[in-house]
Amino acid sequence: MDLKNKIYFEWSTFVIVLTIIVTLILFYCIYLSIRNYTNISAVATGSIIALILFYAATQIPIYLRYNADTIAIKHLIGQTKIPVADIVSIKKVEDNITAYSIRKFGSGGFGGYLGKFSNKELGSYTMYATQIKNLVLIKTTKRQYIVSCKRYNEVVNYYENIVREVK
């Protein structure tokens, strides 16, 4: 794999600070539930918090990798693959396009802006962003994705060259 086709997600200061604060609070809640191990509801609450924290951590995007077949978003655990054959368009979008979005399921800053969102302009979309700038909209035949990508022009140009070669 060509390393120049691998782009690491850069975190905004807000996302870093929020992630640290929320993580510390959640770990403290888990600690309190373990300390009260005789109280079933405290242990259950601590277990639920631990599961939520684990799931959220697995969704944090690490890097975006692209090639002629796939755009892959590597998470802490697992990855999201977007087949190039399914892509209808890729374009840079204004940073404020997500401003009035409704979060259906996901995070609005803890570990990034992750999950399912919706707004009037875009409709339903999945976002993997660690900052709200340099946003790229990837439309496929089935879904829409928004990712933050500092080197967005490389991804957009790469995709446009592939489309040009096919035609």
Beta bridge partners of 8: 63
pLDDT higher than threshold 70 for residue 167:
no
Longest CA pairwise span in the chain (Å): 67
pLDDT tens profile 37-96: 677 777 788 788 888 888 888 889 999 998 888 899 999 888 999 998 899 889 888 888
Of the candidates 97, 142, 148, which has an alpha carbon nearest to the alpha carbon of residue 127? 148
pLDDT grade for 164, boundaries at 50, 70 and 90 = low
Q: Is 0.85 topped by the overall pTM?
A: no
By three-state DSSP, how is residue 109 classified?
A: strand
Q: What is the set of domains in the chain, with CATH numbers?
A: 1-167 (2.30.29.30)
Angle in degrees, CA 72, 73, 78, rounded to 5 = 100
The CA–CA distances, whole Å, from 59 to 47, 51, 78, 111 equal: 19, 13, 8, 8
